[in-house]
Amino acid sequence: MQSKSILVTGAAGFVGYYLSERLLQEGHTVVGIDNLNDYYDVNLKHERLNKMKNHSAFTFLKIDLADKAGIDELFATHNFDMVVNLAAQAGVRYSIENPDAYIQSNIIGFHNILEACRHYPVEHLLYASSSSVYGSNKKVPFEETDFVDNPVSLYAATKKSNELMAHTYSHLYKIPATGLRFFTVYGPMGRPDMAYFGFTDKFFNDEPIHIFNNGDFENDLYRDFTYIDDIITGIMGLIEKPASGHTVFNIGNNNPEKLMVFITSLERALSNSLGREVEFEKIFEPIKPGDVPATYASTDKLQEAIGFKPETSIQDGLQRFTDWYVSYYNKK
C-alpha cells in the first residue's frame, strides 16, 4: 500500500501504540492523539509515546475526543487519508463505577470523529468495538451475524452504539467504515487494569489474587485471549481493504482458554522469567456484575477477507509479557 496520512486516536494506549509503530515501519505518516487520562498509570502511556518520538513521520497531539472544536481543527489542518479510532474509555467494571466517562469518550467522542469524517471525507474509518457487545450470548463461537441487542454493561452498550452510529453515518454520507470487535488483547506494555497485569502486580506486592469464577473449575469462565501482534496484523490487513459501506469483524484468537488455564500459564511464564517457582495465592469469589461467562470469536469472516490466522500461543504470549514486566519494573 502506498504511503498514507493516518490518524490514530488513543495513540498512547496499548493497541494504539503498537498500531502506530507498525504503520510507521511501513512508511505511513501518523498523527496520534490521546487525552492521556489517568484511568491507569500515565507513565506507561508516556513510555509508549517516547518510543515513537524519534520517528520523523509521527506527530503527537494531546486532544480529547469530546473536544469537538479541537477535533474539527485537527481534521481541517490535516488531510487524513484514513482514521483508526482506538481512543475510548475501556473496562467493563469501571463502567459501573464511572458511567459519565463512557458517555463522554465513547458516545460524544465517537460522534465527533464521525462528524469530522463526514465534513473531511476519508478513504476508510476503522474503529474499536468490543467482544463485550455479545453480552451473555450462550451460542459459541460468537459470529458477527449474532443478535447483540442485550448488553450487560454500559461499556458494552456504548460499543454497540458505536456500531449503530457508524452504520448510520456510512449509509448517509458514504463513509467506508469497519468496526473491530476485539477479544481480550494482552501482551507487553499492556493495560494495567487487565487481569493478567493485575495478577502479576499482586504477586510482587505479596497480595493474593481474586478470581471471580466462584471457584467453579468445571464451569470456569472462558476468554479468547488474543496476543497484541495478532491484533495488529488483523488491523493492518483491514486497513488495506476499505469497506464499500459499513461492516464489523471479530478479531480474536478463535481458541478460548479457561481462566484457570490462563492463570497457571501466567505462573509458568513468571517462573521462567524469574528463574524460580511462582504460585499465586488465590481467593475465589462470585462472578462480578457485567462479566460474561465466555468470549469466543469466530474469525471465519476475517480469515475470508484477509487470510487472518492468529499465530501466538497463550504460553508464548504470556512469556513475552512477563519477560517485559520483569525487565521494565526491574524485578529480577
Distance CA 294, CA 310 (A): 19
Which letter does DSSP use for residue 280 in this model? Answer: -
State which H helix or E strand residue 262 sits in. Answer: helix 259-274
Question: Side chain identity at 292, as an amino acid letter?
Answer: V
CA-nearest of 7, 100, 117, 104 to 61 is 7
Distance CA 280, CA 288 (A): 20
**Within 10 A of 49 (CB to CB), how many other CB atoms are there?**
20
Active-site position among 17, 127, 155, 227: 155
120 is catalytic: no
Which letter does DSSP use for residue 132 in this model? Answer: G
In Å, how far from its chain's centre is CA 87?
9
Q: Tell me the pairing of strands 58-62 and 246-251.
A: unpaired
Q: What is the DSSP string of 150-219?
A: --SSHHHHHHHHHHHHHHHHHHHH---EEEEEE--EE-TT--TTSHHHHHHHHHHTT-PEEE-STT-STT
Active site residues: 155
